[in-house]
């Protein structure tokens, strides 16, 4: 599995140091929108400079290299155990190279052994598909944006949200208000309406694998995505919560069936330092092409 290990180290390096093109375009557009001379504009300028510098130096865009989340699509018969071992070895090697910070703490003892390995670290999601190839997506999700994620159980009297799309809208916009700049905005929301508490959050995260410039094929959800994006950007929270025109860069929403008794709206917030990359691999683990 050495080829796999080397390829995954490269996937980690690229994810940590290089912002995907779709996100970079959205950030440049946001920089254009902010009024010149404001602290919001200077924040966006530093962000733009940071993106260029990280790529040039092959260093982490953000020092919080986050939870390491792999999403693997593979054919039946693919050796998931061997892949997991290669991924763990790659995470350890990438940490030694400084692509990842020593970022994983034993929740019982508080010890950080510096390897980024432990229960749930890294996390791997495997999914079988009919295709013969293997696709691996990687998300590095920092703690600042993870901490402003939120899950609402509707009805919610505090925000007057009923069990309908209007109630979902209130919940999502309340999450934006509460997050302010704390999740390193301008950010992107991944949302799941429905599911249980765990699948709701899981599906909300996988929405962040969508390209920023795609459109939701479900008409009602597409409408809600555009509405949330436009409304959030009218609130004046702005980059880093400094005030300004760009509060969000994108909104991605999906649904999962729920039991009649539950109605969750789960929101994951991704910071502007949107570390998400992926590649298609051949059977030996060689990278064929990049996804984003």
Partner 1 sequence: MNISTPLNEAAVRKLKVGDAVEITGVVFTGRDAVHKYLAKGGELPAGVSLTGGIIYHCGPVVIKDDAGNWKVTAAGPTTSIREEPYQGDIIKKFGVRAVIGKGGMADRTLAACREAGAVYLHAIGGAAQVLAEHITKVRNVYFLEKFGSPEAIWELDVVNFPAVVTMDANGNSLHTEVFERSQAELAKRL
Q: Contact residues for partner 1 (CB under 8 A)?
A: 39, 42-43, 46-47, 49-50, 53-54, 57, 59-65, 98, 101-103, 105, 110-112, 114, 142-144, 147, 160, 170, 173-174, 177, 180-182, 184, 231, 234-238, 240-243, 271-273
- How buried is 85 (Cβ within 10 angstroms: 0-12 exposed, 13-18 middle, 19+ buried)? middle
The alpha carbon of 221 is separated from its chain's Cα centroid by a whole number of angstroms, namely 19
Cβ 65 to partner 1, closest distance in Å?
8
101/210 with CB nearer partner 1:
101
Q: Report the DSSP pairing between strands 187-194 and 150-153.
A: unpaired
Cβ 175 to partner 1, closest distance in Å?
11
Specify the DSSP class assigned to residue 156. Answer: B
Strand (E) or helix (H) holding 55: helix 39-57
Cβ 288 to partner 1, closest distance in Å?
29
Cβ 70 to partner 1, closest distance in Å?
21
1/138 with CB nearer partner 1:
138
Cβ 107 to partner 1, closest distance in Å?
13
H-helix segments, 121-184: 143-147, 165-179
Cβ 292 to partner 1, closest distance in Å?
18
Tokens 């944006």 correspond to what residue? Answer: 145
Cβ 218 to partner 1, closest distance in Å?
23
Per residue, what are the HEC states of 196-246? CHHHHHHHHHHHHHCCCCCCCCCHHHHHHHHHHHHHHCCCCCCHHHCCCCC
Q: Cα dist. 77→81, 131, 288 in Å?
A: 11, 12, 20
6/146 with CB nearer partner 1:
146
34/64 with CB nearer partner 1:
64
Residue 271, token pair as written in the block:
């910071």
Q: What is the dihedral of CA 165, 166, 168, 173, to 10 degrees?
A: 140
110/217 with CB nearer partner 1:
110
Residue 284, token pair as written in the block:
């030996």
2/63 with CB nearer partner 1:
63
Residue 78, token pair as written in the block:
């693919």
39/117 with CB nearer partner 1:
39
Structural contact between residues 191 and 272, judged by C-beta atoms closer than 8 angstroms: no
64/73 with CB nearer partner 1:
64
Specify the DSSP class assigned to residue 72. Answer: E
Cβ 260 to partner 1, closest distance in Å?
27
């Amino acid at each position: 599995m050495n080829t796999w290990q080397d390829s995954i180290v490269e996937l980690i390096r690229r994810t940590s140091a290089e912002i995907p093109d779709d996100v970079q375009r959205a950030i440049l557009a946001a920089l254009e929108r902010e009024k010149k001379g404001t602290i919001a504009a200077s924040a966006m300028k530093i962000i733009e400079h940071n993106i260029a510098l990280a790529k040039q130096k092959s260093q982490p865009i953000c020092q919080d290299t986050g939870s390491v989340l792999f999403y693997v699509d593979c054919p039946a018969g693919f050796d998931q155990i061997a892949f997991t071992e290669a991924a763990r070895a790659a995470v350890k090697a990438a940490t030694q190279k400084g692509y990842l910070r020593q970022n994983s703490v034993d929740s019982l003892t508080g010890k950080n052994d510096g390897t980024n390995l432990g229960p749930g670290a890294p996390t791997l999601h495997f999914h079988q598909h009919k295709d013969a190839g293997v696709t691996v997506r990687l998300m590095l999700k920092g703690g600042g944006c993870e901490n402003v994620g939120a899950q609402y159980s509707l009805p919610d009297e505090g925000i007057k949200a009923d069990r309908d799309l209007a109630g979902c809208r209130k919940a999502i916009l309340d999450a934006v208000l509460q997050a302010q700049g704390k999740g390193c905005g301008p950010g992107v929301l991944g949302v799941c309406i429905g599911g249980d508490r765990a699948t709701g959050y899981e599906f909300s995260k996988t929405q962040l694998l969508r390209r920023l410039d795609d459109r939701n094929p479900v008409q009602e959800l597409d409408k809600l995505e555009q509405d949330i994006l436009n409304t959030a950007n009218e609130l004046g929270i702005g980059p880093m919560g400094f005030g300004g025109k760009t509060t969000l860069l994108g909104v991605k929403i999906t649904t999962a069936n729920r039991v009649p008794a539950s109605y969750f709206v789960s929101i994951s917030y991704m910071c502007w330092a949107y570390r998400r990359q992926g590649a298609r691999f051949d059977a030996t683990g060689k990278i064929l092409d990049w996804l984003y």
